[in-house]
C-alpha cells in the first residue's frame, strides 16, 4: 500500500481543522504546534528523513512512546507536560482518522497509548494576611508599580486564569454601577465576573493615567516596550513581590506562589465565606462542578487538621491507676 504523506495532514490540521472547524483559541493552537514540532523532530531523527518527507506510517506506537519517554528523560518535562503533549497528538490522530479511514488500524493503536497518572499537587492558597503582605510590596507611586498592582488585584478579584487577565482589553470592562469584566476562558467560553468597587476604581484610574480609551480592543496590561504582557512576564512580576514578602514574613510564604495560586486563593476565600459551590464554579469558569469540588475537599482537610491539632474533650483522659494484677478477676467484678 502506498504510504500517506504526513505533511498535508499537518498543514490542514493547523490551518483548517483547529481554527475553522473547532474554533480553537490561539493559545491552544500554539500548544498543539509546539507538541507537533517536537514530535516531527523525533520522527525525522528516527527514520533519517526530513520532516517534510515523513509518512503517517512513520508514526508508530513504539516511536510515540519513545518520544514521550524522551520528553521526561531528555527534556526533563513533568508528567503533566508529557500528558498535554500526548493529548495534542491524540487530537491530531483523531483528525487523521476522520480524514483517511484507511489509517484506522494505525490510528487506533496510537490512540491506545495511555496517559500517565500524575500526582495531584497540594492545593495552595494564601491567607488574608499573606495576600495583604504581598500587595503591600508593590510601589504604586510608579507607572510600572501601578500596572503590577492592577495585575495582582485583577487576578485575585476575578479568580481568573492568568491568560484570561492578560487577554482582557479596556472594552471588556464595565466600570459604572455594578462593575464587571468579560473574560474569555477555555473553549472560547465567555463569562461575566463582577468586580469589587475598589478594583473598578483601580481600572478607571489606570485607564485615565495611561490615556487609554474605554473602547480600546488591545490588551490592557503591557510591558515597558508597550507589547502585551506575557504569562512569563506575569510570573516574573509575581515572583518578585513574593520574594520581597518572603524576606520579611517567611512563615507566610513557605510554598511556591504562582498566578494560579491567586485563583485558588479567591476560590478558597469564597468557599470559606459560605458562597455556594455552583456560584464559585461559574465565577471560575469551570465547565463541570467536579473541577470545583477540589476546593471543598481541600477545605475539609484543613478543618480536620485544625480539629486534630486542637485536640478534643471527647477522648477520656488516661487513668493513672496501675493495671490489676489479676485481670480476669477484675473483669469478672465489672
DSSP single-letter state for residue 142: S
Active-site option among 95, 156, 241, 295: 295
Active-site option among 66, 260, 303, 304: 260
190-194, strands of its sheet edge to edge: 173-174, 180-184, 190-194
Q: Whole-angstrom Cα distance, residue 177 to residue 262?
A: 26
Counting Cα atoms < 13 Å in the Cβ hemisphere of 231 gives 8
CB count in 10 Å sphere of residue 233 = 17
Judge whether 263 counts as a catalytic residue. yes
Judge whether 290 counts as a catalytic residue. no
Q: Whole-angstrom Cα distance, residue 151 to residue 165?
A: 8
Grid cell, residue 29, equals: 493552537
Q: Whole-angstrom Cα distance, residue 220 to residue 173?
A: 10
Q: Are 277 and 284 in contact (CB under 8 A)?
A: no
Active-site option among 55, 191, 235, 286: 286
Phi first, then psi: what are they for 118, rounded to 5°? -105, 145
CB count in 10 Å sphere of residue 57 = 14
Active-site option among 17, 82, 246, 263: 263
Grid cell, residue 180, equals: 464587571
Active-site option among 147, 161, 246, 264: 161
Active-site option among 186, 231, 235, 244: 186
Pairing of strands 180-184, 173-174: antiparallel
Q: Whole-angstrom Cα distance, residue 91 to residue 36?
A: 11
Q: Which helix (H) or strand (E) holds 243?
A: helix 231-248
Q: Whole-angstrom Cα distance, residue 55 to residue 6?
A: 5
String of DSSP letters for 68-99:
HHHHHHTS---HHHHHHHHHHHHHHHHHHHHH
Judge whether 260 counts as a catalytic residue. yes
Judge whether 186 counts as a catalytic residue. yes
Q: Whole-angstrom Cα distance, residue 268 to residue 33?
A: 35
Active site residues: 161, 186, 260, 263, 286, 295
Amino acid at each position: 500500500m502506498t504510504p500517506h504523506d504526513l505533511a498535508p495532514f499537518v498543514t490542514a490540521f493547523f490551518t483548517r481543522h483547529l481554527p475553522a472547524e473547532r474554533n480553537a483559541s490561539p493559545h491552544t493552537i500554539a500548544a498543539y504546534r509546539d507538541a507537533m514540532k517536537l514530535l516531527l523532530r523525533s520522527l525525522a531523527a528516527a527514520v533519517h528523513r526530513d520532516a517534510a518527507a515523513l509518512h503517517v506510517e512513520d508514526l508508530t506506537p513504539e516511536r510515540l512512546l519513545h518520544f514521550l519517554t524522551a520528553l521526561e528523560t531528555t527534556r526533563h518535562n513533568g508528567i503533566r507536560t508529557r500528558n498535554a503533549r500526548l493529548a495534542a497528538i491524540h487530537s491530531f490522530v483523531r483528525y487523521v482518522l476522520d480524514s483517511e479511514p484507511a489509517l484506522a488500524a494505525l490510528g487506533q493503536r496510537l490512540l491506545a497509548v495511555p496517559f500517565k497518572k500524575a500526582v495531584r499537587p497540594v492545593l495552595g492558597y494564601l491567607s488574608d494576611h499573606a495576600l495583604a503582605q504581598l500587595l503591600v510590596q508593590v510601589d504604586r507611586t510608579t507607572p510600572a508599580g501601578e500596572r503590577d498592582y492592577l495585575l495582582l488585584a485583577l487576578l485575585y478579584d476575578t479568580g481568573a486564569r492568568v491568560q484570561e487577565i492578560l487577554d482582557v482589553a479596556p472594552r471588556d470592562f464595565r466600570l459604572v454601577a455594578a462593575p464587571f469584566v468579560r473574560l474569555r476562558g477555555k473553549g472560547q467560553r465567555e463569562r461575566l465576573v463582577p468586580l469589587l468597587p475598589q478594583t473598578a476604581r483601580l481600572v478607571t484610574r489606570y485607564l485615565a493615567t495611561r490615556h487609554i480609551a474605554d473602547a480600546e480592543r488591545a490588551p490592557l496590561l503591557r510591558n515597558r516596550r508597550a507589547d502585551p504582557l506575557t504569562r512569563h512576564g506575569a510570573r516574573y512580576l509575581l515572583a518578585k513581590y513574593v520574594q520581597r514578602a518572603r524576606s520579611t514574613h517567611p512563615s507566610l510564604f513557605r510554598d511556591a506562589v504562582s498566578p494560579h495560586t491567586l485563583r485558588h486563593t479567591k476560590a478558597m476565600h469564597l468557599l470559606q465565606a459560605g458562597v455556594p459551590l455552583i456560584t464559585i464554579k461559574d465565577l471560575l469558569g469551570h465547565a463541570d462542578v467536579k473541577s470545583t469540588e477540589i476546593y471543598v475537599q481541600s477545605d475539609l482537610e484543613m478543618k480536620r487538621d485544625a480539629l486534630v491539632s486542637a485536640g478534643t474533650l471527647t477522648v477520656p483522659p488516661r487513668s493513672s491507676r496501675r493495671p490489676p494484677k489479676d485481670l480476669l478477676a477484675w473483669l469478672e467484678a465489672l
